[in-house]
Chain A
Amino acid sequence: MKVKIKVWRQAGPNEKGAFKTYDVDGILPEMSLLETLDVLNEQLTKAGEEPVAFDSDCREGICGACGLMVNGMAHGPRRKCTSCELRMRHFGEGAMITVEPFRARAFPVIKDLVVDRSAFDRIIAAGGYTSVNAGSAPDANSILIPKDKAEKAMDSAACIGCGACVAACPNASASLFVGAKITQFSLLPQGQAERDRRALRMVAQMDEEGFGNCSNHAECEAACPKGISISNIANMRREYMHAGRVYEEHAGGGGAG
């Protein structure tokens, strides 16, 4: 196959970017889009030009490193499919494929298609955990979890942190990402102790990072490569409202001694 790749080139965070179009030949239908970019990069390197910078690692849809806007859609036209899983057979011979970085105020561009998604780490640091030190856990079967609850928690936990939800959202909201984590823990007995504090802190951090608000466009759900449901956002709101009513942060006491 022969295709045209129209790709966003931007030398650095403070540089101006622009699209550039390249012809790429010798593409097989079973190749992935990222492998096509590999071929393009080999071509550019040999011609003494700068290859296109993009992130990827597992190349099987689980690490969340790759994140491209493909023809205007986060991860491209296939449902429940990451950029690295997207095969060329879904594009016709001679197709023009437009590739851009995930764009959002909270995801500044580093170079070409590479963006900074560290805001997600800071949101998790704000409360996306259970406070249990290594060595202090009870026997795993002492905490019984009904199968349906465990399955639902797993549905939410499947998030790969790629940021497609943010990129797809007209408001660049991170609500699906945050909602999924809050929901996972809210469904599990292990998550109860810190349930309120978690909801308040994670939502506060999300706002601080400069993500927009959710106004129910549901583009996030459509773009999510793991099919995470927008009901996670509704749940986040419930958790947050409830926590706001009942939770009081106590300053840690130094003790008397």
Chain B
Amino acid sequence: MIKIAEEPMMNAQIPDGPIESKWANHKSNIKLVSPANKRKYTVIVVGTGLAGGAAAASLGELGYNVLNFCIQDTPRRAHSVAAQGGINAAKNYQNDGDSVWRLFYDTVKGGDFRAREANVYRLAELSANIIDQCAAQGVPFAREYGGTLANRSFGGAQVSRTFYARGQTGQQLLLGCYSSLMRQVDAGTVKLFPRREMLDLVVIDGRARGIVCRNLISGAIESYAADAVVLATGGYATAFFLSTNAVNSNATAIWRCHKKGALFANPCYTQIHPTCIPLAGESQSKLTLMSESLRNDGRVWVPKAKGDKRPPSQIPENERDYYLERIYPAFGNLVPRDIASRAAKRMCDSGHGVGNTGYAVYLDFADAIKRLGVDTVRDRYGNLFDMYDEITGESPYQLPMRIYPAPHYTMGGLWVDYNLMSTIPGLHVLGEANFSDHGANRLGASALMQGLADGYFVIPYTLGHYLADSKVLSAKVTTDHPAFKEAVSAVTEQTRRLVGASGKHTVREYHWKLGRILWDHVGMGRNAKGLEQAMSDIRALRDEFWKDVHVGGSDQDFNKNLEFAGRVADFMELGELMAQDAWHRNESCGGHFREEYQTPEGEAKRDDQNFCYVGAWQWSGNPSEPVLHKEELEFDYVHLAQRSYK
């Protein structure tokens, strides 16, 4: 069972002063590394997504000696590439009342008051610089005829602050970031290590001093030493097996750091995205997202009558329930994701769902096409419509889309302080991998913003501060240090054990089963009994995995089964922690919905008296006995209130 640490609350190192000047003051007080000394420091950056790519490029520009790792064959394929809809920034280019304050307010409220105010404010402040930086890189953002940047709206906001590049915003931002990165590769400040999977962190004298990874082509176990490690390895939604994330997305890097002492915060805060293409069959490998931007013009509805099997065109207007518009008139189809997802689940659970399985709702563009014309609609969403058509064989220009919620994003991750440093000195965590600025629910178009803020504008300052402040770093370590040897032999042993396992079931079968457990009990609706069931089921599945998995092939070769086996082994432990965290948090907030704690209208009911904290878990050596630490959350600027989108 879980234990609660006796120590005082955790200290997030939040600078003093009013919220508007915390970051500016902090930057003025921060220690600096002189230009001549920067190249003497080696920094490992794991990950080449928006967070890692931006960090590696920016640290390279400053003159650090950067080693940058990723799983894919090239940095440009990091999962960030798949982001579709857009990126928020408080530019107020639309003159519609936006401001840093409002973005800050919307994000704190959207996160259901479970984020750290100081971090969120800094994020809102930096948002404008991101757009400037990306535009200067040549990112082809959407424009108005006059040549200025265009905006669209996303959920949870009443202003239009989302910048976009067709339905490929993540791709274009990542390519901008990748181009800056490759410029540093050319300049010799960044060295790339693609097709490497980090499998362990090396800690020496209490500080992060290197990593051990597997070369995914040759199978060699390699060691790299550094003065600091920056982790930007993305989220863990693939724990659910079926999710909108890329199939190689994983929790291995953060989980292995967790096992080396980094606390894991809010693992149960996962985001189930409301608009994804529904599941078609058991061999499906992933679920495809249909961007939230579609809710700008698409209307969500189900038939008013239960079990109505008529085709949508034969259901007259007065027999349709546009339930989001009905229940949340102020935000309508643009309510935050957690709210839209649960509403869809409620509709389907109560028999109003559509499609073969009854687990889908309609997202209808007929009115938008009437109002705007096909051309405008194609201009805005053409590539998403094509993608939907390619997958389902149905054209959204003619028929409403069928959509259903799917695991999409994880707000939880490694705990970091204001400087983005984990509880292991020298280990910094950026992007989706950290527990982030999104509280219990992330608003659309805010992940790209956070990843780039962390990478371009936060870590270049705070990493320098750490290096300048850490006298011990003058003692350089090399990979000959016994700690590296130890890590290498532990990794080698696990790899050999997996590759030698000759049971009956494939890795994929275990992953699928784990995903089922998490989806059923740690998904959109959770309750104490189900969570207890999940914990015991996961424990049993984990035991079975180690006894009965079959991996095959060689560890000295390109071996996808082996890669996945290591990731699934980690998900089996993390999955239990997700359930434990959800079980201990006796309240509902954002994406964490405990059925026992809801308002009469079925909305999330927080318990600020008892749960206004970040739950940060410590590894105890036994996955079933984690230790809980708490960081108290204070809301001095946005006052605690029930979230309302009516």
The A-contacting residues of B in range 35-79, CB under 8 angstroms, are 54, 57-58, 61, 72-77, 79
Docked CA distance A65–B217 (Å): 15
CB within 8 A of B143: which of A38, A45, A55, A150? A150
Contact, CB under 8 Å: A62 / B182 = no
In the complex with contacts A87-B391, A134-B54, A134-B460, A188-B140 CB distance below 8 A: yes
Chain B residue numbers with a CB within 8 Å of A95 are none
Question: In chain A, what residue has the closest Cβ to B76?
Answer: A161
Report the interface size class on chain A: 35 or more
The A-contacting residues of B in range 154-212, CB under 8 angstroms, are 165-166, 168, 170-172, 175, 178-180, 182-183, 185-186, 192, 194
Contact, CB under 8 Å: B553 / A129 = no
Chain A residue numbers with a CB within 8 Å of B172 are 154, 157
Contact, CB under 8 Å: B146 / A65 = no
Check if B492 is an interface residue, CB within 8 A of chain A: no
Contact, CB under 8 Å: A150 / B168 = no
- One digit per residue, 1 when the CB lies within 8 angstroms of any chain B CB and 0 when it does not, for chain A 159-195 equals 0110000000000000000000000110010110000
- Measured CB to CB, the closest approach of chain A to B307, in angstroms, equals 24
Contact, CB under 8 Å: A154 / B558 = no
Chain A residue numbers with a CB within 8 Å of B138 are 130, 153, 184-185, 188, 190-191
In the complex with contacts A30-B392, A140-B131, A63-B550 CB distance below 8 A: no
Docked CA distance A76–B143 (Å): 34
Chain B residue numbers with a CB within 8 Å of A42 are 506, 508-509
The B-contacting residues of A in range 70-88, CB under 8 angstroms, are 78, 80-81, 85, 87
- Measured CB to CB, the closest approach of chain A to B573, in angstroms, equals 23
- Measured CB to CB, the closest approach of chain A to B438, in angstroms, equals 22
Contact, CB under 8 Å: B246 / A147 = no
Check if B571 is an interface residue, CB within 8 A of chain A: no
Total interface residues on B, CB under 8 Å, equals 82
CB within 8 A of A140: which of B75, B91, B166, B186? B91
Question: In chain B, what residue has the closest Cβ to A55?
Answer: B73
CB within 8 A of B81: which of A27, A59, A62? A62
Contact, CB under 8 Å: B146 / A59 = no
Check if A135 is an interface residue, CB within 8 A of chain B: yes
**Residue with the greatest number of chain A CB neighbours at <10 A, chosen from B129, B142, B560:** B560
In the complex with contacts A60-B288, A125-B182, A154-B140 CB distance below 8 A: yes
The A-contacting residues of B in range 416-475, CB under 8 angstroms, are 456-457, 460
Contact, CB under 8 Å: B506 / A126 = no
Contact, CB under 8 Å: B143 / A124 = no
Check if A158 is an interface residue, CB within 8 A of chain B: yes
CB within 8 A of B183: which of A131, A157, A190? A131
The B-contacting residues of A in range 90-144, CB under 8 angstroms, are 110-111, 114, 116-118, 120-121, 124-126, 128-141, 143-144
Docked CA distance A26–B217 (Å): 31
Docked CA distance A129–B148 (Å): 22
Contact, CB under 8 Å: B192 / A121 = yes
Chain B residue numbers with a CB within 8 Å of A55 are 73
Chain B residue numbers with a CB within 8 Å of A125 are 182-183, 185-186
Check if A34 is an interface residue, CB within 8 A of chain B: yes
Question: In chain B, what residue has the closest Cβ to A201?
Answer: B186
Question: In chain B, what residue has the closest Cβ to A86?
Answer: B390
Question: In chain B, what residue has the closest Cβ to A187?
Answer: B140
Check if A219 is an interface residue, CB within 8 A of chain B: no
- Measured CB to CB, the closest approach of chain B to A255, in angstroms, equals 14
Check if A241 is an interface residue, CB within 8 A of chain B: no
Interface stretch, picked from A46-54, A229-237, A242-250, is: A46-54
Contact, CB under 8 Å: A130 / B387 = no
Contact, CB under 8 Å: A161 / B508 = no
Docked CA distance A132–B91 (Å): 21
Chain B residue numbers with a CB within 8 Å of A128 are 179, 182
Contact, CB under 8 Å: A135 / B129 = yes
- Measured CB to CB, the closest approach of chain B to A176, in angstroms, equals 16
Check if B21 is an interface residue, CB within 8 A of chain A: no
Check if B260 is an interface residue, CB within 8 A of chain A: no
- Measured CB to CB, the closest approach of chain B to A92, in angstroms, equals 15
Check if B286 is an interface residue, CB within 8 A of chain A: yes
Contact, CB under 8 Å: A139 / B180 = no
Docked CA distance A124–B75 (Å): 12
Contact, CB under 8 Å: A62 / B82 = yes
Contact, CB under 8 Å: A63 / B284 = no
Check if B375 is an interface residue, CB within 8 A of chain A: no
CB within 8 A of A28: which of B136, B148, B248, B281? B281
In the complex with contacts A46-B550, A64-B76, A31-B182 CB distance below 8 A: no
Docked CA distance A32–B144 (Å): 37
Contact, CB under 8 Å: A190 / B81 = no
Contact, CB under 8 Å: B285 / A34 = yes
Contact, CB under 8 Å: A50 / B72 = no
Docked CA distance A145–B185 (Å): 29
Docked CA distance A61–B506 (Å): 27
Check if A58 is an interface residue, CB within 8 A of chain B: yes
Contact, CB under 8 Å: A65 / B391 = no
Docked CA distance A58–B79 (Å): 7
CB within 8 A of A110: which of B192, B217, B387? B217
Check if A39 is an interface residue, CB within 8 A of chain B: yes
Contact, CB under 8 Å: B552 / A132 = no
Chain B residue numbers with a CB within 8 Å of A131 are 183
Contact, CB under 8 Å: B61 / A133 = yes
CB within 8 A of B284: which of A35, A116, A132? A35
Docked CA distance A188–B457 (Å): 25
Contact, CB under 8 Å: A118 / B185 = no
Contact, CB under 8 Å: A124 / B182 = yes
In the complex with contacts A190-B135, A190-B137, A53-B147 CB distance below 8 A: no
Check if A208 is an interface residue, CB within 8 A of chain B: no
The B-contacting residues of A in range 18-43, CB under 8 angstroms, are 26-28, 30-32, 34-35, 38-39, 41-42
In the complex with contacts A63-B82, A65-B72, A134-B457 CB distance below 8 A: yes
Residue numbers of A with Cβ under 8 A of B are 12, 26-28, 30-32, 34-35, 38-39, 41-42, 45-46, 48, 50-51, 53, 55-65, 78, 80-81, 85, 87, 89, 110-111, 114, 116-118, 120-121, 124-126, 128-141, 143-147, 150-151, 153-154, 157-158, 160-161, 184-185, 188, 190-191
Residue numbers of B with Cβ under 8 A of A are 54, 57-58, 61, 72-77, 79, 81-82, 91, 93, 129, 131-149, 165-166, 168, 170-172, 175, 178-180, 182-183, 185-186, 192, 194, 217, 246-248, 280-281, 283-286, 288-289, 386-387, 390-393, 456-457, 460, 506, 508-509, 550, 552-553, 557-558, 560-561
Task: Provide 6 A-B residue pairs closer than 8 Å at the C-beta atoms, listed in order of the A residue.
Answer: A132-B136, A134-B180, A138-B132, A140-B131, A141-B148, A154-B140
Question: Considering the complex of A and B, which 7 residue pairs feature the smallest CB-CB distances, nearest first?
Answer: A144-B147, A129-B179, A137-B136, A140-B135, A137-B132, A154-B140, A125-B182
For the A-B complex with A139-B132, A147-B147 known, give 16 more contacts whose Cβ atoms are closer than 8 Å.
Answer: A31-B280, A31-B283, A51-B560, A53-B560, A58-B79, A59-B286, A60-B82, A87-B391, A87-B393, A111-B558, A118-B194, A132-B180, A134-B54, A146-B145, A147-B145, A190-B136
